[in-house]
Structure 1
Amino acid sequence: MAKQKLSQKQEAVWTSYQRMRLRLAGQLNQELAQKTGLSEADFEILSLLSQKAEEPVRALALRCGLEWEKSRLSHQLRRMEARGLITRGECPEDNRGTVIRATELGRKLAIEARDCYEQAVQRYVMDVLTPEQLEALGSISERILKQLEKPHRS
């Protein structure tokens, strides 16, 4: 079976999407770092932890919620613990597991980062799209996410 190549139009759309995705992620990361000292990875973890108030979250649940590899999460948590953003401890129900908590500093920075992040998303995405474009973006995103959830076919 011959592989289908992208048309010129498809290639142009894909290239534009890739440039937008990378520049938007870079801009959001830069603003988060400048205003809060957090990386986007720090922010993702602290956001999930802050949803649980001060309750500890199992590392496995955090990894599943982020859809990260175990080693990536482990390295990120080690860096965040060294900076005083989180604490790690043994899981009382399972000695093999680890529980994670945001520190007071981590919770404070998570609140600041949420505000910064929402303002940036508003400025770079919501303010420049029409309601119809926003609806289309949501629809496109959901459709692609559903496709990615299907078992991979070669």
Structure 2
Amino acid sequence: MTKWLSAQEEAAWRRYRRMRTVLDLAISRDLRSDSSLSDADYDVLSTLSEAAEDSWRAGDLATRLMWSSSRLAHQVGRMERRGLVRRTSSDGDGRGAVVTLTGAGREVLEAAAPAHVASVRRHLIDLLGQEDVAALDRIAGTVLRALQPGEPESDGRVTRH
């Protein structure tokens, strides 16, 4: 038997879906306008910047981004042509690739980060009180633990990117 959503649950679900779509669009639009980076560009650059030696094995990077290997390969190819990342053969087996943030990629990321953070603040964080931010973090943590039970828990801290 289906356990249907109550009116309050349905309203919350619909508002969440609408908020997610509108929020993602607003932040993406700002990122593109402020830096000419796509969300995917920023995701790759910021993730690489958090790695030791600014590098990840391609398979590990795809896993971390929750992307398919094919999607990562296409994205990295586009970014490599723009000089933002470099792809090299993996030491040892020669089958895998390592993706590395270039100096130009770091410069682009560091230039984009302040406006990106300002956009996140303007469209979400500054609209909420501290209790709301804590509730959002708690809710996100609960859902992520349920959907990704084997993943290590993040403490929520992020780098300046």
TM-score (norm 2): 0.85
Cα displacement string for residues 75-99 of structure 1 (whole angstroms, at most 9, x for unaligned residues): 1111111222111111122200101
The structural deviation recorded for 1:32 is 0.8
The structural deviation recorded for 1:31 is 0.8
Does the 8 Å contact 2:34/2:115 carry over to 1? yes
Alpha-carbon distance in structure 1 between the residues aligned to 2:109 and 2:54: 15
Which amino acid counterpart does residue 34 of structure 2 have in structure 1? K
Alpha-carbon distance in structure 1 between the residues aligned to 2:54 and 2:12: 44
Instruction: Flag structure 1 segments of 5+ consecutive residues without an equivalent.
Output: none
Alpha-carbon distance in structure 1 between the residues aligned to 2:148 and 2:100: 30
Alpha-carbon distance in structure 1 between the residues aligned to 2:64 and 2:112: 19
Which amino acid counterpart does residue 49 of structure 1 have in structure 2? L
Match of 1:87 in 2: 86
The structural deviation recorded for 1:139 is 0.8
The answer on 1:72 being equivalent to 2:76 is no
The structural deviation recorded for 1:53 is 6.3
TM-score (norm 1): 0.89
Higher mean displacement: 59-68 or 36-45: 59-68
Alignment of 1:3-152 (within 5 A): 3-52=2-51, 54-150=53-149
Does the 8 Å contact 2:27/2:119 carry over to 1? yes
Identity %: 37
Alpha-carbon distance in structure 2 between the residues aligned to 1:146 and 1:51: 22
- The DSSP-based 3-state class of the residue aligned with 1:62 is helix
Alpha-carbon distance in structure 2 between the residues aligned to 1:8 and 1:75: 43
Alpha-carbon distance in structure 2 between the residues aligned to 1:53 and 1:115: 22
Alpha-carbon distance in structure 1 between the residues aligned to 2:28 and 2:82: 18
Instruction: Flag structure 2 segments of 5+ consecutive residues without an equivalent.
Output: 151-161
TM-aligned CA distance change 1:45 to 1:20, over 3 Å: same
Which amino acid counterpart does residue 63 of structure 2 have in structure 1? C
Which amino acid counterpart does residue 9 of structure 1 have in structure 2? Q
Higher mean displacement: 111-120 or 18-27: 111-120
Alpha-carbon distance in structure 1 between the residues aligned to 2:122 and 2:55: 34
Supply the RMSD in Å over aligned alpha carbons: 1.7
Alpha-carbon distance in structure 1 between the residues aligned to 2:72 and 2:91: 21
The structural deviation recorded for 1:137 is 0.8
TM-aligned CA distance change 1:54 to 1:37, over 3 Å: farther
Which amino acid counterpart does residue 47 of structure 2 have in structure 1? L
The structural deviation recorded for 1:66 is 1.1
Alpha-carbon distance in structure 2 between the residues aligned to 1:53 and 1:33: 27
